[in-house]
Amino acid sequence: MPEEDIRKQCAALLGVVIGTYDEELRKELPKDALLEKPEIMSIDLFQKYLEAFFYPDQKIIGKHRGWISYASRSMVRAYFKAQMNLSKKCDAVEVFLSYLRRPLDNNDIRFYLLATIPGLPFNDCTEDQKNEVVNYVYGMLVAEHLETKLAAFRALNEMMPYAKERLQKNIGWVRP
């Protein structure tokens, strides 16, 4: 469907813009130079747009809210691809994890969070961050809502290189 492609492309473009938003100084400044901190940093934009993607305005019809939320995965993936600063990536992962920590009654948001997880930069995450994501996905494997379970299985499949060790240790399972 062409509309879906446009939504994905726009979300990805937004992720690239946010990921490259911060100015990087490449020249050495004089010792007496004062550097003003920008009002808005890329992490602030990342948090703002994650909120807008996962919780679109209630004035938008339900079907469109779902489309907006589903596009979050394209935005997150593009953000982490464009963001070259490791500490900013880790900060952004923490922002994403704050959504996993929220108590959620809404299965749709759980589904969109799970769909977005494969876009996280697992190679750049701390062990604690990886464990938190894996634990969240494991918790969703036993969810009552079928779509949430399926999204958890998809996320786990994408994360297999990072979750394999835990799977082997906890349940003795080895992927063929």
pLDDT tens by residue, 105-129:
889 999 999 999 999 998 899 989 9
95 assigned to some structural domain: yes
Average pLDDT, the chain: 87
pLDDT digits (tens, 9 = 90+) for 28-81: 767 777 767 778 899 999 999 999 999 999 899 989 999 999 999 999 999 999
- Write the CATH number for 136: 1.25.10
27 assigned to some structural domain: no
Per-residue pLDDT, 47 = 97
42 assigned to some structural domain: yes
Which residues are within 8 A (CB) of 54 and not within 5 positions of it... i.e. 6 or more apart? Answer: 69, 72, 99, 109, 112, 113
Q: Are 164 and 175 in contact (CB under 8 A)?
A: yes
31 assigned to some structural domain: no
81 assigned to some structural domain: yes
28 assigned to some structural domain: no
25 assigned to some structural domain: no
| Number of folded domains that form the chain | 1
Average pLDDT in the 6-14 region? Answer: 93
30 assigned to some structural domain: no
Residue-range definition of the domain harbouring residue 10: 2-20+37-171
Per-residue pLDDT, 1 = 56
